[in-house]
Amino acid sequence: MENKHTLNQFEAPVSAAMTDYARDGALAFHTPGHKQGLGAHRLLRELITAEGLRQEVSLMEELDDLHEPEGCIKRAEALAAELWGAQDTLFIINGTTGGIHAMLLGTLAPGDEVLVPRNAHRSIIGGIILAGAVPVYIQPELEPALGIAMGLSVRNVRRAVTEHPHAKALLAVYPTYYGFCCDLQAIAVLVHERGMLLLVDEAHGAHLRFSDRLPSQALELGADAVAQSTHKLLGSLTQTSMVHIGSGRVDRQRIRQAAGLLQSTSPNQLLLASLDIARLQMAEEGGERLAGAVRLSERLRAAVNSIDGLYGPGEELCSKAEDRGAAAMDAAKLTVNLDGLGISGQEAELVLRHRYKIQCELSDPRNLLFIMSMADTEREAERLLAALKSLAGEYAGAGNREQVNMAAMPVPIQRLNPREAFFAPVETVPLEQAAGCIAAETAAFYPPGIPLLCPGEEITREVISYIRHYQAMGLRLSGPADGSLHRIRICKGHKIDG
Ligand X SMILES: Cc1ncc(COP(=O)(O)O)c(C=O)c1O
Interface residues toward ligand X, by CB under 6 A: 95-97, 121, 123, 173, 177, 201, 203, 229, 241
Give the nearer residue to ligand X in terms of CB position, either 175 or 246: 175
In 171-229, where does DSSP find H-type helix?
A: 184-193
495: helix, strand or coil: strand
Q: How far is the CB of 371 from ligand X (least distance, A)?
A: 12
From residue 155, alpha-carbon distances to 160, 223, 320, 423, 449 in Å are 9, 19, 11, 35, 21
- CB of residue 346 to ligand X, shortest distance in Å: 18
Give the Cα separation of 476 and 460 in Å (integer): 21
CB of 453 to ligand X, least distance (A): 20
> What is the dihedral angle through the alpha carbons of 117, 165, 163, 171, rounded to the nearest 10 degrees?
0
* Closest distance of CB 227 from ligand X, Å: 7
Name the 3-class secondary structure at 394: helix
Q: Are 376 and 293 in contact (CB under 8 A)?
A: yes
In the complex, minimum distance from the CB of residue 231 to ligand X, in angstroms, rounded to a whole number = 6
Q: Which is nearer to ligand X, 184 or 438 (CB)?
A: 184
**Minimum CB distance to ligand X smaller for 176 or for 337:** 176
Q: How far is the CB of 307 from ligand X (least distance, A)?
A: 28
Beta carbon of residue 62, minimum distance to ligand X (angstroms, whole number): 29
At position 296, the amino acid (one-letter code) is L
Q: Closest approach of Cβ 204 to ligand X, in Å?
A: 6
DSSP of 102-144, one letter per residue?
HHHHHH--TT-EEEEETT--HHHHHHHHHHT-EEEEEPPPEET
In the bound state with ligand X, the residue whose beta carbon lies nearer, of 406 and 431, is 406
Residue partners of 126: CB distance under 8 A and separation at least 6: 97, 100, 101
Residue among 236 and 344 whose Cβ is closer to ligand X: 236
> By beta-carbon distance, which residue lies closest to ligand X?
95
Q: How far is CA 141 from CA 135, 226, 317, 494, in A?
A: 18, 22, 12, 33
Interacting residues of 24 by C-beta distance below 8 A, sequence separation 6+: none
Smallest gap, in angstroms, from Cβ of residue 98 to ligand X? Answer: 7
Cβ closest to ligand X, residue 121 vs residue 489? 121
**What DSSP designation does 237 have?**
P
Q: Smaller CB distance to ligand X: residue 121 or 164?
A: 121
Q: Which helix (H) or strand (E) holds 426?
A: strand 426-430
| Rounded Cα gap, residues 124 and 130, in angstroms | 10
Cβ closest to ligand X, residue 229 vs residue 269: 229
Given the complex with ligand X, which of 97 and 344 has the nearer CB atom?
A: 97
Q: Minimum CB separation from ligand X for residue 95, in Å?
A: 3
Nearest to 157 by CA among 142, 167, 143: 167
Alpha-carbon distances, residue 61 vs 70, 78, 154, 478 (angstroms): 10, 19, 49, 45
Q: Are 127 and 105 in contact (CB under 8 A)?
A: yes
Pick the closer one to ligand X by CB: 201 or 330.
Answer: 201
DSSP structure string for 166-186? T--EEEEE-S-TT-EE--HHH
Host H or E run for residue 336: strand 333-337
